[in-house]
Amino acid sequence: MYMKKYGLLAIILLLTACESYEMEQTIFVPDATDSNLPAYTEWGYNSFGALYERKYFLAANDIVPSKITIQNGIMTLSLSGRVAANNSSWSSRENMTLYFSFPIRETIRSYHDLVVLSQKEIDLTAASCEIKMYSNSSLTNIRVLSGHLFFKRVQLLRINEKEDRAILSGTFDLTFLRNEMPEGMTKGRFDLGIASVFVLP
């Protein structure tokens, strides 16, 4: 009797751990028109992608794809991955992180509060927004010429009847000056599972 009870409990805990582990992984589902980009999804696949000039900026399995920090009313969303010619050619890979910082009026203390972002569109040319790019061991402020960050849908994910994280899904595009040269990111999309929000003093 006790063996059955504790055996069942162990199986439940193991399945829960497996589900949580799977939710931390990056799942790449190819886009129907450009297989080098992830399809737009709303399932918490921890994936993002954009066409960056003639290369692709993509999430990678060995890099945490996104983090959110809040400090003094400013929210920063980071997208970390690699730039490559295509999603299977990492030989010329370049690690890169893109930081979107913008003011947020609503109080956000945990992932539960991220639902206030649903249907929120950020004009990245606004003076209150700041975009930074980290690549080649250098952090650069970039001058945005045009761009938008759109949180199309934010939903809370439940695993075994318990809320586990927020899923942020949306799109982005960006034209900017980097080292005084114009560059652009188009067809950007993201589907991110956020389990923690870092609130800084």
Residues 171-180 have pLDDT tens digits of: 999 999 988 8
DSSP 6: H
Give the DSSP letter of residue 142.
-
pLDDT tens digits, residue range 2-45?
444 444 433 433 334 445 556 689 999 999 999 999 999 999 99
Q: How far apart are the first and last CA of the chain?
A: 52
Domain positions in the chain: 2-199
Please give the helix or strand (H or E) that residue 146 lies within, else none. Answer: strand 143-159
Torsional sign, CA 56, 41, 187, 133: negative
Low-confidence ranges of the chain (pLDDT < 70): 1-23, 87-92
Token pair 């996104």: residue: 66
